[in-house]
Amino acid sequence: MPNLVHVTYNQTGKSKSTNGLGMREMQEKAYEGRTAQYLLLKAPPASGKSRALMFIALDKLKNQGIKKVIVAVPEKSIGASFGSTELVKYGFFADWNPNPKSNLCTPGEEKSKVTAFLNFLESDEQILVCTHATLRFAFEGLDVKKLDDTLVAIDEFHHVSAEGDNILGQVLKSIMKNSTAHIVAMTGSYFRGDNVPVLMPEDEAKFTKVTYSYYQQLNGYEYLKSLGIGYHFYTGRYFKKNPETGISALAEIIDENQKTIIHIPSVNSAESSKEKYEEVNHIIDVLGELEFQDENTGVLHIKSHKTGKTLKVADLVNDNPKSRDKISAYLREVKSVDDIDIIIALGMAKEGFDWPYCQHALTIGYRGSLTEIIQIIGRATRDSKNKIHAQFTNLIAQPDAQDDDVKLSVNNMLKAITASLLMEQVLAPNFKFKLKKDEDDEDEEDDDKTIKIRGFKLPTSQRAKDIIDTDLNDLKAKLLQDPQMLKAMPGNVEPEVINTVLIPKIIREIYPDLSDDDVEAVRQHVVVDSVLKNSTIEEQGDKRFIRGAGSFINIDDIHIDLIDRINPFQKAFEILSKSVTTQVLKLIDEHIQSTKIEMTEEEAILLWPKIKEWVKNNNGEQPNIQAFDHKEKRMAEALVFLRELKRKKALANG
């Protein structure tokens, strides 16, 4: 199947070059916000968030009255990112030198780590690195005032949740409420895999936000030129040979010449065999024959079936502590492209895992979290001289009419597509939108990323401006995960209904504090940005045109009403319809029809002019509720709804 997303970049080198203080572009941007008490840094994998924190923390220790720094990471392996680092020789005023004894991301029982955490607060040491778990456990018996004049840095901040039973979220809320502590929150993707917010709006408003986009990062690379995101469907088991082709789905898509991370299915997923060690053995069998395992490093040496060459494979699924520590230590010291060929993982090698040579992130089974997908893609998007293209492939079970889990399979497929839709938005350059007032409305500051739109609404409150400036992708993630949107997107609901009824309804649910005018401003920005990023902009002479799903619009003539007639999420479904079998499309269609969103008065009223036009164009015939065409059927449903609404109003006025 072709990629749903394929993005190319300009290789400007800007995101890798450093200033006089030794800071890369993102780090310099983050450092500008160093005086904020609460700082939220949103930047993609490999942009240098760890070092950005070092710069900020050292400034707080020297110039802002902060006495101690606590860095909390989600898992032990990430703690290595915050080890001693030379900064002075690149122009900064101090090096990052935590005492090795204050690194609690080491093997050992949690109880002793909590004791070490509490002892650190009473000591003269300034820097501590620990896991999220240690921070949570230590907090149980901690007087929060002990964190006064302390910087608490939380890496992979999306692990926090505003939900009541999220302990890390409760810890954060208590620190903010009951101490003078400073907080730096860092994440490559702020949105979670569920509909629970990371922070409540009133808490989030206290944070100064620094946002550095995926596009800025990848466009500024030296070597990596393009990124592809695609899906490959299989029937049966992914590691078993297809009777028709004589080859397994896994064998079809593994290229031994590409450095690859394979994430096997979550043990709770339908794709999993529930025997994780056996799945690793199956993958090894697909690759070749095991020759030996290095006793010192834990690396598996496998002779390839295809080429006969020896592949070096790391097994991170084996959770024997000695085995895992051995191979993890080896991977941390990888210095050459030839040191490892393939890594097989389950829960590891996602967040904060650094293997710059990785070219292909292959994930088996749909991942329920958009954040997790972004983190996995980030494993392949490091810049390295051994690659010009990075690839993410999701191997997903194809819906089967004979299978009892058809509904689950279809849902997984639709969710995978929405992840692609979001990634296309995340990976593209950002546009600026302005209200176009007249033909002479020119501004010297405008560039080719500024588009003026007639009828466009601008935000009035600072809250709405902040959402538009820094949270647009997060909002799109929430929209794309909404069950109503999943049912509406594949084209069975009119674009105007999606854009003017469904999207504002969801925005009101997410941001209940926004006024109606600001809801409309945010809605317009979401829709226009999504439509443009799912379209191509073409130049013909001195004019620019937007070519999207079934539309070709002169940018100079663009009006918000025109944009509202375009489904902003249609592109990926059109690609999909050309890439899977008719039977699969029929299953998807039947599933969507069985769970169609309920009719609302707003949608019915919006469809009324289309119903009249339909009747006029069909010699007085009304839309048929049994019609195969989705839109005709929906208009017929709207007609039934309006008649019933009219009847109820007549009775009420009776």
The DSSP secondary structure of 5-34, one letter per residue, reads EEEE-----TTT-B-TTS-BHHHHHHHTTT
Q: Are residues 240 and 203 in the same domain?
A: no
In single-letter form, the type of residue at position 525 comes to H
Do both 229 and 189 map to the same domain? no
**Confidence category of residue 57, pLDDT binned at 50, 70, 90:** very high
**CA 124 distance to own-chain centroid:** 40
- Looking at the structure, tell me whether residues 65 and 192 fall in a common domain: yes
Quick check: is 403 in a domain? no
* Residue 335 and residue 273 in one domain: yes
Q: Cβ contacts of residue 191 below 8 Å, gap of 6+?
A: 158, 198, 370, 371, 473, 474, 477, 478
pLDDT of residue 379: 86
3-state secondary structure of 300: strand
**366 and 437 co-located in one domain:** no
101: Cα separation from own chain's centroid: 35
User: Is residue 348 in a domain?
Assistant: yes
Q: What is the DSSP string of 344-397?
A: EESSSSSTT---TT--EEEEES--S-HHHHHHHHTTT-S--TT-SEEEEEEEEE
175-192: average pLDDT: 84
**Does some domain include residue 276?**
yes
At 319 the pLDDT is 81
DSSP class of residue 302?
A: E
Q: Which candidate, 302, 305, 301, places its Cα nearest to that of 248?
A: 305
Domain membership of residue 10 (yes or no) is no
Phi and psi (nearest 5°) for 484?
A: -65, -40
Q: Are residues 231 and 358 in the same domain?
A: yes
User: Per-residue pLDDT averaged across 182-211, rounded?
Assistant: 75
Interval 518-540: pLDDT, tens: 999 999 999 888 888 877 777 77
Q: What is the pLDDT of residue 246?
A: 79
Q: Does residue 545 carry a pLDDT above 90?
A: no
pLDDT band at 61 (very low <50, low <70, confident <90, very high): very high
Question: For residue 197, what pLDDT is reported?
Answer: 61
How do beta strands 543-548 and 536-540 pair? Answer: antiparallel
DSSP 122-161: HSS--EEEEEHHHHHHHHTT--GGGGTTEEEEESSGGG--
Provide the number of structural domains found in the chain: 4
Distance CA 590, CA 296 (A): 55
| Structural domain of 495 | 426-579
Dihedral sign, CA of 183, 187, 193, 195? positive
Per-residue HEC secondary structure of 221-287 comes to: CCCCCEEEEEEEEECCCCCCECCCCCCEHHHHHCCCCCCEEEECCCCCCCCCCCCHHHHHHHHHHHH
Evaluate whether residue 402 is within a structural domain. no
Does any domain span residue 607? yes
CB 132 within 8 A of CB 74: yes
| Greatest CA separation for the chain | 88
Q: What would the mean pLDDT of 48-73 be, rounded to a whole number?
A: 95
Lowest mean pLDDT among 42-56, 391-405, 546-560, 615-629: 546-560
- For residue 326, what are its two tokens? 């051995």
